[in-house]
Amino acid sequence: MKVAVLGTGGGARAHIAKLRELGHEVHVGTRDPKATLARTEPDMMGTPPFKDFLARHPGVQLHPFGAAAAASDGLVISGIDGHNAVAALSAIADELAGKTLIDYAVPFIYQHTPEHPWPTPWGIMPMLDPCDSDSLGEQIQRALPRTKVVKSFVTQEQTTVVDPTSVADGDHTMFVAGEDPDAKQQATDLLKSYGWSDVLDLGPLVAARGMEMYAHMHSAIGFGLGQRFGGHFGIKVVR
């Protein structure tokens, strides 16, 4: 397949590397490719410059967001920061039309507002917007009515999403939600190619609320296990 991955952070890189390993053609989208390639220092999360990653992953093509989406033959994975996702994706609505968009962002608020003081200590977790009465997945679907939005991957570190057997031999559960059954099947097929054996369809996109709000529980479980950043565990639905 020709898959577009929007974003160049750690989560996006996990998917890019895995998709290449699986033999797909990968088109990476970024806001400003020149700026992305000009960076020579790790960012504040310690992520090395994308140029270094590209050098180790030959054949990966870097584009502006819209050109990356246009190069996809059907599947687009969005790793755009939750708070910026609706605006960035709306700007390339034409290029995304007719395609399946898998959104895995958590709409954490990193900005300082009177209602949401920053910095939030990580132990207390950043707050979410939207939350409870709406979700980022639903917002994106409303903004992109011609695109089939699937919420998935969000209940897990992306390094584990692309390598599920690294935890408990892969004996845990991944979730999908969305309005379009074919799009959810595409996402499920991708997950199976990543190594997932248990992919549970939670139904319509309203279930994205639960998936996004699970971020707090995911953080708490990680803390409970003594894994402060980048948790390495899974949850298995037993029934």
Q: Which residues bind a copy of itself (CB under 8 A)?
A: 116, 123-125, 127-128, 131-133, 155, 167-168, 171-172, 175, 177, 200-204, 206-207, 209-211, 213-214, 216-221, 223-225, 232-239
In the numeric block, the tokens 């998936």 are attached to 211
Amino acid identity for residue 55 in this structure: A
Which residue lies nearer to a copy of itself by CB, 1 or 109? Answer: 109
Minimum distance from CB of 132 to a copy of itself (Å)? 5
Which residue lies nearer to a copy of itself by CB, 53 or 175? Answer: 175
CB atoms within 10 A of CB 167: 18
Minimum distance from CB of 221 to a copy of itself (Å)? 6
- 231 token code pair: 């948790």
Which residue lies nearer to a copy of itself by CB, 89 or 106? Answer: 106
Minimum distance from CB of 1 to a copy of itself (Å)? 26
Minimum distance from CB of 197 to a copy of itself (Å)? 13
CB atoms within 10 A of CB 171: 12
* Phi-psi domain of 23 (left: phi exceeds 0; alpha: psi -120 through 50; beta: other): left
Among 167, 169, 195, 183, residue whose Cα is nearest residue 22: 195
CB distance 174 to 198 below 8 Å: yes
Minimum distance from CB of 183 to a copy of itself (Å)? 16
In the numeric block, the tokens 């031999």 are attached to 169
Which residue lies nearer to a copy of itself by CB, 54 or 174? Answer: 174
CB distance 177 to 141 below 8 Å: no
Which residue lies nearer to a copy of itself by CB, 47 or 227? Answer: 227
First-last CA distance in the chain? 35
Helix (H, G, I), strand (E, B) or coil at 157: coil
Which residue lies nearer to a copy of itself by CB, 95 or 157? Answer: 157
Element (H, E) at 94: helix 93-96
Minimum distance from CB of 215 to a copy of itself (Å)? 8
